[in-house]
Amino acid sequence: MNSRTAVITGANTGLGLECARTLLARDDSWHVALAVRDPARGADAVAGLDAPHRCTVLPLDLASLSSVRAFGGRLRDAGLPPLHAVVCNAGVQVVAGTTLTDDGVEMTFGVNHLGHFALVRGLLGQLEAPARVVVVSSGTHDPAKVTGMPHPRYTSAEQLAHPPAGAPNDGRLRYTTSKLCNVLFAYELDRRLGSGANGVTVTAFDPGLMPGSGLARQYPPLQKFAWHYVFPLLRVLPNVNSTRTSGQRLAALVHDRRFDGVTGAYFEGKKAIRSSVDSYDEALARELWEASVRLADQVSA
């Protein structure tokens, strides 16, 4: 019987869909709210799951803070079981140029961090303990790892939201920096929620390299071909995974009793590890949080 709800952003495809699939299969007490930009694609995804009667599709566009604000009401009005988990999974990587959200915020920062920040902040009042918040990050946030991606460059949240003239116009750099923001946000949220003392735990998750996932949808044709047909051969290497494998590991952070009470931790797959040096900078995390509040509230004013 459904007794609790998990919200999963970007659940109509890739990692989010596999997380939903696993959660539904492993524990029949869960109802999954698929928070997706395109409800039609969400409905198609639900049709391919084994328990469509335990799924609800709700529209959410993380590139629109008005959509994010409306989501809380939609969830409340949907008549679902109590909310016990939020999985911040959806993400974008704008390869070239500068694209803005509906609110005039740089798209990668706006979707990967600010939209999820506003979503979780807006849902805290609906979370019922014991509850878990899981934020999907990436190993690319850590300069100590060899990923082939630029090292993140955190200046300030305001400059990430509104890049000044002359700022690096590198989509991959913006992506890795947004992934650092994900970890900073997860740790700061955990601290502000009492580090699990009030029954809400927060973890960050690195799914590893997932060749064939939708992250390369804006790549040039040759790179897109390699991503879908050549890179999957690398799955024999550490932390190179299929979306199904990573989805199972992500779902475990939502439902598995092994993680009861585990909070303020960063997981690479199924193993808790240290995240980057910068991710533990509490002053940086506070600056990101306070600026994110201002950015979100300026739009809603």
Residue owning tokens 């706006």: 110
197 CB-side CA count, 13 A: 6
Whether residue 175 lies in the annotated active site: yes
| Contact (Cβ atoms closer than 8 angstroms) between residue 19 and residue 11 | yes
CA–CA distance, 181 with 16 (Å, rounded to integer)? 20
Where does residue 48 rank: exposed (0-12), middle (13-18), buried (19+ CB within 10 A)? exposed
What six digits make up the tokens of 114?
């600010």
Q: Among the options 154, 175, 187, 266, which is catalytic? A: 175
How many Å is the Cα radius of gyration of the chain?
18
Tokens of 96: 């070239």
Euclidean distance between CA atoms 290 and 37, whole angstroms = 27
As annotated, the active-site residues are: 175
